[in-house]
Amino acid sequence: MTDCDGENAETQVWLDHAVACGYVTKMDVAPILEVSEDVGRMLGDMIENPSKYGAVEPKKR
């Protein structure tokens, strides 16, 4: 999940870079960034609360 969250954040950076370089407009990337932010929130919740999503805690020795 943390790798996914990092990749999602990197995508946001590259979209910002594309805007800064003039390849696309802010309006072009706004819907993508909105979805990306939603995904980031979901991933953050999965990272913080794995048992809520079916992850099993490892047994302690």
* CA 37 to chain CA centroid, nearest Å: 6
Predicted pLDDT of residue 48: 93
Predicted pLDDT of residue 5: 96
All structural domains of the chain with their residue ranges: 2-49
Predicted pLDDT of residue 57: 73
Predicted pLDDT of residue 6: 97
Contact between 12 and 33 under an 8 Å Cβ cutoff? The reply is yes
Q: How far apart are CA 45 and CA 24, in angstroms?
A: 31
Residue pLDDT, tens place only, 3-47: 999 999 999 999 999 999 999 999 999 999 999 999 999 999 999
Q: How far apart are CA 44 and CA 49, in angstroms?
A: 8
Predicted pLDDT of residue 56: 82
